[in-house]
Amino acid sequence: MTLKDEQMRRRQAQEAAEACVQVLREQFGVRQVYVFGSLSGQGPWHSRSDVDIAVEGLPSREYVHALSTLYQILPEGVELDLITLEDAPPEMIARIKGEMDMPEDPKEALAKEVADELLSLGRIVDQARLVLRKLPQTPTFIEVNAAGKLIHDFYGGAERIFERIAVRLGPGLPIGESWHTLLLRGMESGVEGVRQAVIDHALALRLMDYLRFRHLFRHTYGYELEWGKLSPLVEGLEETLTLLRRQVEGFLKGL
Region 80-106 average pLDDT: 89
| Pick from 91-95, 146-150, 166-170, 218-222: least confident | 218-222
What is the rounded average pLDDT for all residues in the chain?
Answer: 92
Residue pLDDT, tens place only, 58-69: 999 999 999 999
Residue 242 is predicted with a pLDDT of 98
Distance CA 120, CA 89 (A): 8
Which top CATH class is 106-253?
mainly alpha
* Positions of E strands within the chain: 32-36, 51-56, 80-84
pLDDT exceeds 90 at position 232: yes
Q: Is the pLDDT of residue 1 over 70?
A: no
pLDDT of residue 108: 93
Q: What is the mean pLDDT of residues 20-41?
A: 95
Please report the pLDDT score of residue 155 as a whole number.
Answer: 97
Q: Is residue 2 scored above 90 in pLDDT?
A: no
Domain boundaries, the chain: 3-88, 106-253
The better pLDDT of the pair 223, 228 is held by 228
**Number of residues that make up the chain:** 255
Per CATH, domain 3-88 is 3.30.9.10:
no
- Overall average pLDDT of the 180-196 stretch: 93
Residue 119, pLDDT > 90, answer: yes
Share of the chain above pLDDT 70, in %: 99
Mean pLDDT calculated for residue range 117-146: 93
Choice among 125-129, 169-173, 207-211 with the minimum mean pLDDT? 169-173
pLDDT at 146: 93
User: What pLDDT does 46 receive?
Assistant: 82
pTM of the complete model: 0.85
Regarding predicted confidence, which is higher, 216 or 2?
A: 216
pLDDT at 189: 93
Strands 32-36 and 51-56: antiparallel
Whether 76 shows a pLDDT value over 90: the answer reads: no
- Give 87's strand partners: none
8 A C-beta contact, residue 190 and residue 197: yes
Confidence of residue 253 (pLDDT cuts 50, 70, 90): very high
Question: What is the rounded distance in angstroms from the CA atom of residue 236 to the CA atom of residue 207?
Answer: 10
Separation CA 54–CA 60 (nearest Å): 14
DSSP secondary structure of 99-129: -SPPPSSHHHHHHHHHHHHHHHHHHHHHHHH
Contact criterion met (CB below 8 Å) for 229 and 209: no
Picking from 116, 153, 154, 135, the residue whose alpha carbon sits closest to that of residue 228 is 135
CB 140 within 8 A of CB 148: no
Sign of torsion, CA 219 224 227 228? negative
**Per-residue confidence (pLDDT) for residue 44, from 0 to 100:** 85
Give the Cα separation of 87 and 241 in Å (integer).
Answer: 23
Q: What distance in Å separates the CA atoms of residue 24 and residue 44, rounded to the nearest whole number?
A: 25
